[in-house]
């Protein structure tokens, strides 16, 4: 039996793609994305209070949601509500309880009781409690899988196509990580030496968080570099070439600052090296725990600028790495179907 998922979106691409990835991984599901808009600025706070008081009714939904959002929700029948991001979490519950639809949420919401949700998917590094309705994920669910990648650009779109192909995905500054010029120069020097020695191709992209100074170094080093197949600077283009990079690469090198970026790379079915960055404090960021577990599971290899050259060569020559493809979206989709069967809705 087919079932339909209502995805409540806060318009943030990362949150929305987590939900779409789960929905696309469910073979029996279709889905609709609805952008959620509160009628007024205090709508989120009021929704939180109502949920904590266990007050769920159509009257309050009419008060909180704008008319266009309400119409999109009321005009169709849905079997599951799915959302990510804190701002839409209370609406997930209000809609679910009002219309008696199971509520599924990605991540732990610190201001809402976990027991109110039918299912919660949350990363291992958030140290969630051991509850029957909480599924701990290794990284973030996403849309990257063999089917999705098959529709991306082929190698003919790039200026150089000699194998092996090495992708370099650079993140940037966060509260825990820094990306200085010395660090990037060391990493670039090692990667260029490796690409030249294996006579391969390098594909490079930065992110919106990449410092301007680092982007200037990347442009200087790779714009006219004869082994560059593709260079995209996020400050100059909104294009997202990473799915194409995954499709074409033999090895993906990704910085450790973004668990979403690492999770996507680990879901691509390619050999993945996670590149350590400079820390702003002596403490390890909490998602480092997940990255370490990914390496233990055989999904990735952790490296640093000092040894990245030898690690790329080692990974290329190791026919047994990786032995697994991360598939958390598929695992989450299976849990949703299990919930529906338990509730005898499919």
| pLDDT, position 285 | 78
pTM attached to this predicted model: 0.90
Confidence of residue 323 (pLDDT cuts 50, 70, 90): low
Q: Do domains 3-142+328-342 and 146-317 have the same CATH topology?
A: yes
Give the whole-number percent of the chain exceeding pLDDT 70: 95
Write 308-314 long-range contacts (CB < 8 A, 24+): 308/187, 308/190, 308/191, 308/194, 308/253, 308/273, 308/275, 309/190, 309/191, 309/193, 309/194, 311/273, 312/166, 312/191, 312/194, 312/251, 312/253, 312/273, 313/194, 313/197, 313/198
Residue 74 is predicted with a pLDDT of 87
Please tell me the predicted confidence (pLDDT) of residue 169: 97
Average pLDDT over all residues of the chain: 91
Structural domain spans, the chain: 3-142+328-342, 146-317
Res 152: pLDDT? 75
With 60 as the cut, is the pLDDT of residue 338 above it?
A: yes
pLDDT band of residue 322 (cuts 50, 70, 90) is low
Q: Are 125 and 290 in contact (CB under 8 A)?
A: yes
**Can you give the pLDDT at residue 236?**
93
Q: Which fold has domain 3-142+328-342?
A: Rossmann fold (3.40.50)
The string of pLDDT tens digits covering residues 152-193 is 766 556 777 789 999 999 999 888 898 988 899 999 999 999
pLDDT at 215: 93
**Where do we find the tokens 């509850």?**
131
- As a whole number of angstroms, the distance between CA 183 and CA 241 comes to 24
**26-30, 136-140, 282-286, 291-295: least confident range:** 282-286
pLDDT of residue 66: 86
Please state the length of the chain: 346
Q: Write out pLDDT tens, residues 230-281.
A: 999 999 998 899 999 999 999 999 999 999 999 999 999 999 999 999 888 7
**Taking the CB of residue 162, how many other CB atoms lie within 10 A of it?**
13
Q: Among 100-109, 142-151, 337-346, whose mean pLDDT is lowest?
A: 337-346
Terminal C-alpha separation, the chain: 6
The pLDDT value recorded for residue 92 is 97
The Cα 58–Cα 56 span in angstroms is: 7
Question: What is the pLDDT at residue 201?
Answer: 95
Q: Which of 324, 319, 259, 260 is nearest to 292 (CA)?
A: 259
Q: At 318, is the pLDDT very low, low, confident or very high (cuts 50, 70, 90)?
A: confident
Q: What is the pLDDT of residue 280?
A: 82
Peptide bond into 178 cis (omega under 30): no
Region 11-25: mean pLDDT is 94
At residue 292, the pLDDT reads: 93
Q: Does residue 1 have a pLDDT over 70? A: no
User: Residue 344: pLDDT above 80?
Assistant: no
Residue with the bigger pLDDT between 283 and 266: it is 266
Residue with tokens 């020097």: 189
pLDDT exceeds 70 at position 308:
yes
Tokens of 192: 């260029």
pLDDT average, residue stretch 279-305:
88
- The answer on pLDDT for 290 being more than 70 is yes
Contact 300, 272 (CB under 8 A): yes
Per CATH, the homologous superfamily of domain 146-317 is Glycogen Phosphorylase B; (3.40.50.2000)
pLDDT of residue 157: 62
pLDDT at 188: 94
Predicted pLDDT of residue 23: 97
């Amino acid at each position: 039996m087919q079932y339909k998922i209502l995805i409540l979106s806060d318009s943030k691409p990362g949150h929305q793609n987590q939900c779409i990835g789960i929905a696309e991984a469910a073979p029996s599901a279709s889905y609709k994305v609805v952008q959620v808009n509160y009628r007024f600025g205090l709508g989120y706070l009021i929704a939180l209070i109502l949920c904590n008081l266990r007050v769920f009714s159509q009257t309050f939904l009419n008060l909180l949601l704008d008319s266009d959002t309400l119409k999109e929700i009321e005009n169709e029948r849905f079997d599951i509500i799915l959302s990510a991001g804190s701002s839409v979490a209370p609406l997930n519950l209000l809609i679910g309880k009002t219309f008696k639809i199971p509520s599924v949420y990605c991540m732990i919401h610190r201001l809402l009781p976990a027991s109110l949700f039918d299912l919660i998917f949350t990363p291992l590094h958030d140290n969630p409690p051991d509850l029957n309705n909480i599924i701990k994920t290794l990284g973030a669910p996403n849309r990257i899988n063999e089917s999705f990648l098959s529709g991306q650009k082929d190698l003919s779109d790039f200026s150089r196509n000699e194998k092996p192909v090495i992708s370099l995905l650079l993140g940037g500054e966060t509260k825990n990580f820094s990306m200085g010029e010395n660090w990037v120069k060391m990493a670039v020097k090692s990667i260029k030496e490796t690409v030249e020695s294996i006579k391969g191709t390098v594909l490079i992209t930065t992110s919106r968080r990449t410092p301007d100074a680092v982007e200037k170094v990347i442009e200087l080093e790779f714009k006219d570099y004869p082994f560059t197949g593709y260079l995209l600077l996020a400050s100059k283009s909104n294009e997202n070439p990473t799915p194409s990079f995954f499709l074409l690469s033999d090895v993906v090198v990704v910085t450790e600052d973004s668990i979403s970026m690492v999770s996507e790379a680990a879901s691509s079915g390619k050999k993945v090296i996670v590149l350590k960055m400079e820390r702003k404090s002596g403490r390890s960021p909490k998602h480092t725990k997940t990255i370490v577990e990914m390496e233990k599971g055989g999904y990735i290899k952790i490296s640093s600028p000092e040894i990245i050259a030898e690690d790329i060569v080692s990974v290329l020559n190791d026919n047994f790495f990786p032995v697994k493809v991360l598939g958390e979206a598929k695992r989450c989709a299976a849990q949703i179907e299990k919930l529906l069967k338990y509730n005898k809705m499919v």
